[in-house]
Every structure is written in C-alpha cells, then in structure tokens.
Structure 1
Amino acid sequence: MPEDFGKDMLMLGGTIAGFVAAMLTVMEKLLDISSRFTGKKEQKSPSPTERPAASASSPIDFFSSKPFRGTSYLLLYETGVIVAAGLLLNYVGLTLSRHLESILFLDMTGTALVAFLLGPWWGAIAALLSNSVVNWLLYPEAGADVVIFPWSLVNIVGACYWGWMARQVGFQKYLRTGRSSAFSHAWFLYIFGVGGAIVMSLPGTFVQAALHEQTTFALNPEVAESVSQRVLQWEQTAHLYLESFFGLTWGESLSWWSVNWFQNFIRYVPDKTMSAAIALVVLKYGYPLFERELIHGGPEGARPNDERILPLVLGLLYAPSFATLISSETYGGTAYWPLWALPWLLILAGYFRLRYWGPGEAALRTARLQRAERYARALKAIGREPSHEFCKRLTFMTLIASLLFALCLPILLTDFYRATFKFFCVVYGFLLVVHLLRISIAQNISIARAND
C-alpha cells in the first residue's frame, strides 16, 4: 500500500509537471513568434537607441551564436542532453532485455555514457535517477521496491568506477586514435567490462545477502534454472572444502559468500562489457562534439572539473531511498544499515575534497562560459538550415495537439492521472528521442564541416 501510494503521488506530480511543461513550452514558442514579428517591425524603422534592446531580446537556443549564461546553457544543452540520453538508454536496455528474456540486463548502458562524458558524480546521479525514479515508476510488475531500490548501490559504484577510469589518460589516448589496434579494444573491454564486473559484484553480493535471496542469473528462465543448479553444486563443494579448514559455521558462511560473489561476477561480465561497449559506440557515433569538449578538453586539452554541488545533489537524491532502505524489514532490517549508509561516506568525502582541494568557482565559471561559446559557434550554421525551422514548428504543433488530448482525459476517466502520466511519458519520450537525434546529427555535421 505505501508503495502504491508513493507511485500514485509521483504520477500525479508527473502529470501536473507534464501539463506545466507543455504550457510553458507553448508560451515560450508564442513569445518567440511575437519577438520575431516585433523584430521585423523594428527593422523597418531602425533607431540607434532601440537596436541594442532588440538584439538583447532575440531568442537563444542550442544553435545560437550568443549563448546566455554559461551554466544555464550547459545545463540545458550539454548536461541535460547527456543525462536524458543516459536515462533513455537505461530504460530501453532494461525493457528490451525483459521482453526478450536475454541473459543481459543492459540497465547501465546510459549510466556508462554519462560517466564517460561527465565523470563519476554525474554518472552516479544518472544511475540513481534511473533506478530510483524512472525504473521504479515504470516497472510493470509488483514488488518494484525490492527489485529496484537496493540495487542502486551497485549502479552508483559502477558509475563511480567507469567515471574514474574515463578520467585516466589511457582512455583519452584510446579514443584519440582513429584506428586503434585490436589490443586497445580488448584493453577497453577488459578494463571497463571485466574490471567493472569485479568492482560491482562486491556490493551486489552484499545487497543479495541483505535481501536473503538467490541472484537471478539471467532473465531467460532456462538459463537461470541451469545456472542455479550448477551454483548449488558449487556451493556444496565449496562448503565441504572450507568446512575442513574453518569449521562448520565459518565454512558455511564463507562458501555462501565466495560462491555468490563468483556467480555475480560471472553474471556481470557479459552485461557490463556490453553496456560499456554500447555506450562508447553511442558516444563516438552520436556526440562527437561532446567527446571533443568533455573528454579531450577542447582546444586547451583540459577536461572540465567537477563542481562541489554534485555530491550534495547525489545525497539529496539518495535520501528518500536511504530512508526506505533502513526503515523496512524487507531490506535486512537494522543489521544492514551500514551497507545502505556507505554512499553517504562517498558523498561526504567527495564534497570535502571538492570543497577544499577542488578548483575555484571563478575558474569553473570561466570554463563553462568558454565551452558554451564553442558549442554555439560550432552549431551556428546548423540552426540556419530550413529543416531545423521545419522540425521546430512541427514539434510545437505536436505539443499543442498532445496538450489538447491530455485535457480530454479527465473528462473520460476517473483515475485520469495514471493515463495522463503514461500519455505524457510516451509523447515526451518520442519527442526526446527526436531532440537527441537532432543534436547528434547537428554535432556530426559540425565536426565534418570543421574537418573539411
């Protein structure tokens, strides 16, 4: 009941947010059209005193050559785009795996993409948003809290590992080389796939112990049953072997931990390897401009630094999950509260490190503004294409139509907010895909023109 109530409240909030977002978008487009008509009238009767005001009120978007404040611009058109792409990849990967009953989960593909581009903190934020909000709300079966919430720890650890490894010089050299050798690709798959499986299987085993359940090796029932029988045999063999050295109690405990850790490791190797590989393919083919600026550091060759507010944002997002985890007997009761409290140590350590040993606010602000200007300058020509204006107007009319359809749902349905929430998820989801594809195509065209 509390879970259903929480979902209902979030769906109601999402419905209201969908209405507000649609209304604000429509109002923004109307103001944009109004400003254009005003600009045309002022061009007919130009005045020296009025020209600065007209230029100051001109609309600014991703393809503008005059970006507004660096932080706002990057939040909308850099960080927002990357995090949205990560959440979408995570959900699509998990949905496809569930429907196809694959041995892979692929629910961390987007997390890897965000960690590669934005670093460990944004990767952890995307992992927590994906697990504790998106997957929980849209999970099709009962018991979503048991299936999803505890595994946020695994996703956070994986995001931190991938983000930290992506900050190393070897990763930059690997991406900078156009024709990397087979050994370089094998190195990437080993470090980010097998290494990630080793790191993530440790918290995965602790979460499994807290839930008092066996790990589901795969979404395919036949594979899961076959592997479960083999794991049971391994555990019995390990139990007999360790019992002769450590006694009955310690032997049973060590055999369970060793076998289940090994099982988690084997389960994670193909999943994390494929997730990292797919994320890198999306990065290379989809967002070369982000790669140039965020991984190779732009003209200066210095990657953007993390901001001190990011650990606090992660803590704010983790607080509701933490309260649920320590207050419910489903998650092992009070015996496992140190496990659920571990992310707070990471959050506090990260904040104090960035607070006292991180870059200054002035340097971060300057770097943000320079990066925003380079984005806008590189994409200025793309915004002048007729197809860009065509798609903007089509999106505007689609939003108006979806808003009209959504307004009819309260008349037809009693529990309208559920249907409205899912309606907005589908409409905004498709529009988000179109927006991400548009930015991806624009970045590829911009890079191709710059190389000519």
Structure 2
Amino acid sequence: MPEDFGKDMLMLGGTVIGFIAALLTLMEKLLDVKNRLTSKKERKSPSPTERPASDSFPTIDLFSSKPFRGVSYLLLYETSVIVAAGLLLNYVGLTLSRHLESILFLDMTGTALVAFLLGPWWGAIVALLSNSVVNWLLYPEAGGDVVIFPWSLVSMAGACYWGWMAKQTGFQKYLRTGRSSALSHAWFLYIFGVGSAIVMSLPGTFVQAALHEQTTFALNPDVAESVSLRVLQWEHTAHLYLESLFGFTWGESLSWWIVNWFQNWIRYIPDKTMSAAIALVVLKYGYPLFERELIHGGPEGERPNDERILPLVLGLLYAPSFAALLSSETYGGVAYWPLWALPWLLILGGYGYLRCWGTGEAAMQAARLQRAERYARALKQIGRESSHEFCKRLTFMTLIASLLFALCLPILLTDFYRATFKFFCVVYGFLLVVHLVRIAIAQNISIARAND
C-alpha cells in the first residue's frame, strides 16, 4: 500500500511537471519568435556605430554580457542531451531484455555512455536515476522498491569504474586511432567488459546475500543440474578449507560468498561487455562532437574536470533510496546497514577530494564558456537550414496538440493522472528521441564539414 501510494504521488507529480514543462516550452517558443521578429526589425535599421562593435566582438556579445548563458547552453545542449540519451538507452535495454527474455539485461548501456562522456559522477547519477526512479516507477509488479533499490549499488559501482577508466590516457588513444587493430578492440572489451564485471560482481554478491538469492544461469535442465552439483562441490571444498583457517561461521559465509561471486562475475561478463560496446558505438556514430570536446579535450587536449557539486547531487538522489532500504523490514537489520552506507563513503570522499584538489571555479567557468562557444560555432550553420526550422515548428505544434489532448483527459477519465502521466511519457519520449537523433545528425554533419 505505501509503495502504491508513492507511485501514485510520483505519477501525479509527473503529470503536473508535464503540464508545466509543456507550458514553459510553449512560452519559450513564443519568446523565441518575438526575439527573432525584434532582431529582424533591428537589422533593417542598424546604427552605424553599433555595427562594427557587433562584427568585431561576436563572442563577447554572446557570452560576456551574460556569463551564465554559456553555462545554460551547456546544460541544454550538452549535459541534458547526454543524460537523456543515457536514461533512454537504459530503459530501452531493460525493456528489450524483459520482453525478449534475454540473458542480457543491457540496463547499463546508457550509464556507460554517460560515464564515458561526462565522467564517473554523472554516470553514477544516471545509474541511480535509472534504478531508483525510472525502473521502479515503471516496474509492473508489487514490491518494486525491494527488488530494484538494492541494485543501485551495482549500477553506481559500474558507472564509477567506467568513468574512471574513460579518463585514462589509453582510452583516449584508443578512440583517437581511426583504424584500431583487433588487439586494441580486444583490449577495450576486456578492460571495460571483463574488468567491469569483476568490479560490479563484488557489490552484486553482497546485494544477493541481502536478498537471500542464489546465482542461477538460464540453462537447460540437464546442464543446470550438472552445474548446480559442480557449484555445490566447489562450495563444500572452499568451506572445508576456509573453516580450517577462520572457523565454522566465517568459513561457511566466505565459501558461499566466493563461489557466488565467481558465478556472478561469469554471468556479468557478457552483459557488461555488450553494454560497454553498444555505448561506445552510440558515442562514435551518434555524438562525435561530444567525443572531440569531452574525451579528447577540444583544441587544448584537456578533458573537463569534475565539479565538486556532483557528489552532493548524487548524495541527494541516493538519500531517498537509502532511507527506504533502512526502513524496510527486509534490509533494515544491523547486518545490512553498512552495505547501504557504502555509497556515502564514496560520496563524502569524492567531495573532499574535489574540494581540496579539484579545479578552481574560475578555471572551470572559463573552460565551460569556451566549450559552449565551440559548440555554438560548430552547429551555427546547421541551425540555419530549412529542415531545422521545419522540425522546430512541427515540434512546437505537436506540443500544443499534446497539451490540448492532456487537458481533455480529466474530463474523459476518472483515473486521469495515471493516463496523463503515461501520455506525457509517450509524447515526450517520442520528441526526446527525435531531438537526440537531430542532434546526432547535426554533430555528424558539423564534423564532416570541419574535416573537408
């Protein structure tokens, strides 16, 4: 009952946010039309003293008069695009896995994409949002919080590993080479697939112990029985050896944990390898401009540094899940709270490190403005094409139509907020896909023109 109430409240909040977002988008479009009409009038009668200033300092007029404009540009056309693409990939991967009953989950494909581009903290934020909000809200069965929330630890661990490995020089060299050898690709799959499976299987085994689950493989009955007998033999052998070293209680626990960790590692390898590979393909084919700026560091060759506020954002998002896990009858015992508290060590340690040894705010602000200027310059010509204006106007009219349809739902339906929430999910999801595809095409065209 409390879980259903929580979902209902989130759906109601999502419905209100959907209406507000639609109204704000319409207002933004109307203001944009007004500004364009005003600029056309000004161009018809320019002042002779103002024209040289605008021609000489175009970037100063764009950013220096309103410094926050560069940051807001990155928020709209860089961070939000990558985060939205990550959440969408995670949801699509999980949906396909559930419907196709695949041994692959692919629910961390988007997490890998975000970690590659924005680093470990944004990757962990997307992982937490996917597990704690998207998957739980759309989970079709009861008890979603009990099933889904604990696995946030696995997703965050994978995001931190992928983000940290993506910051290494070897990853940049691997992407910079146009025709990497088969050995280089094998290196990537091994480090980002097998290595990430090792890292994620560690918290995964602890979560499995908290859930009182046993590792299972999707095998035919004969093979499954044979593997089960073999695993029991391994566990018994490990138990006898560890019992002689640590005693009966510790020996039994360690033998169970080691055997299940090994099984989890083997089970995670195909899923995490394919997730990392798909994420890299999406990055290379879809967002080459992000790759140039965020991975290779643009003209300066320096990757953007992590902001000190990101660990605090991660902590703010993890707090509800942490409270739900501690208040749960299943996980609220003394034996489990240290497991759920582990992310706080990462969050506090990361914030302390970035505060003491991170990049200063002034340097980060200057880097943001320069990056926003390069984005705007690269995509400026694309925005002037007729197809771009056509899609913008079609999106504008689609939002108006969807808002009118949504206003009719309270009249036609009794349980209107659920239907309205799902309606906005479908409409905004479709528009989000179109927006992401449009940005991907624009980036590819921009890079192709720059290379000509």
- Superposition TM-score, scaled by structure 1 size: 0.93
**What residue number does 2:428 align with?**
428
Q: 1:17 to 1:143 in 2, by over 3 A?
A: same
**What residue number does 1:270 align with?**
270
**What residue number does 1:390 align with?**
390
**What residue number does 1:166 align with?**
166
Give, in angstroms, the shift of residue 142 of structure 1: 2.1
Larger RCO, structure (CA 8 Å, separation 6 or more): 1
**What residue number does 2:103 align with?**
103
- One-letter amino acid matched to 2:269: V
How far apart, in 1, do the equivalents of 2:363 and 2:173 lie?
26
- One-letter amino acid matched to 1:334: V
Give, in angstroms, the shift of residue 152 of structure 1: 0.2
Q: 1:242 to 1:44 in 2, by over 3 A?
A: closer
Q: 1:2 to 1:360 in 2, by over 3 A?
A: same
Residues 67 and 373 in structure 1, CA contact (< 8 A), matched pair in contact too: no
**What residue number does 1:287 align with?**
287
Give, in angstroms, the shift of residue 428 of structure 1: 0.3
**What residue number does 1:58 align with?**
none
**What residue number does 2:58 align with?**
none
Q: 1:188 to 1:368 in 2, by over 3 A?
A: same
Q: 1:324 to 1:113 in 2, by over 3 A?
A: same
3-state SS in 2 of match to 1:411 = helix
**What residue number does 2:87 align with?**
87
Q: Does 1:237 align with 2:233?
A: yes
- One-letter amino acid matched to 2:75: L
How far apart, in 1, do the equivalents of 2:228 and 2:393 lie?
60
Where in structure 2 are the equivalents of 1:44-83 lying within 5 Å? Answer: 44-47=44-47, 69-83=69-83
**What residue number does 2:136 align with?**
136
Residues 127 and 156 in structure 1, CA contact (< 8 A), matched pair in contact too: yes
How far apart, in 2, do the equivalents of 1:236 and 1:423 lie?
50
- One-letter amino acid matched to 2:240: S
May I ask how many residue pairs the two structures share in their alignment? Answer: 440
Worse-superposed segment, 238-247 or 365-374: 238-247
- One-letter amino acid matched to 2:412: L
Give, in angstroms, the shift of residue 335 of structure 1: 1.5
**What residue number does 1:374 align with?**
374
Where in structure 2 are the equivalents of 1:92-241 lying within 5 Å? Answer: 92-215=92-215, 217=217, 223=219, 229-241=225-237
How far apart, in 1, do the equivalents of 2:444 and 2:122 lie?
24
Residues 326 and 334 in structure 1, CA contact (< 8 A), matched pair in contact too: no
**What residue number does 1:411 align with?**
411
Residues 217 and 224 in structure 1, CA contact (< 8 A), matched pair in contact too: no
- One-letter amino acid matched to 1:237: Q
How far apart, in 2, do the equivalents of 1:230 and 1:443 lie?
52
How far apart, in 2, do the equivalents of 1:346 and 1:300 lie?
30
**What residue number does 1:22 align with?**
22
How far apart, in 1, do the equivalents of 2:51 and 2:166 lie?
47
Q: Does 1:333 align with 2:333?
A: yes
3-state SS in 1 of match to 2:180 = coil
How far apart, in 1, do the equivalents of 2:427 and 2:224 lie?
41
Q: Percent identity?
A: 84
Which runs of no fewer than 5 residues in structure 2 stay unpaired?
56-61
3-state SS in 2 of match to 1:333 = coil
- Superposition TM-score, scaled by structure 2 size: 0.93
Give, in angstroms, the shift of residue 206 of structure 1: 0.2
**What residue number does 1:301 align with?**
301
3-state SS in 2 of match to 1:329 = coil
- One-letter amino acid matched to 2:236: L
Where in structure 2 are the equivalents of 1:27-46 lying within 5 Å? Answer: 27-46=27-46
* CA-to-aligned-CA distance 1:92-117 (integer Å, 9 cap, x gap): 00000100000100000000000000
Give, in angstroms, the shift of residue 234 of structure 1: 3.1
Which runs of no fewer than 5 residues in structure 1 stay unpaired?
56-61
Residues 288 and 447 in structure 1, CA contact (< 8 A), matched pair in contact too: yes
Give, in angstroms, the shift of residue 254 of structure 1: 2.9
3-state SS in 2 of match to 1:178 = coil
Residues 235 and 259 in structure 2, CA contact (< 8 A), matched pair in contact too: no
Give, in angstroms, the shift of residue 259 of structure 1: 1.8
How far apart, in 2, do the equivalents of 1:433 and 1:119 lie?
23
Q: 1:163 to 1:368 in 2, by over 3 A?
A: same
- One-letter amino acid matched to 1:329: E
**What residue number does 1:257 align with?**
257
CA RMSD of aligned residues (A): 2.3
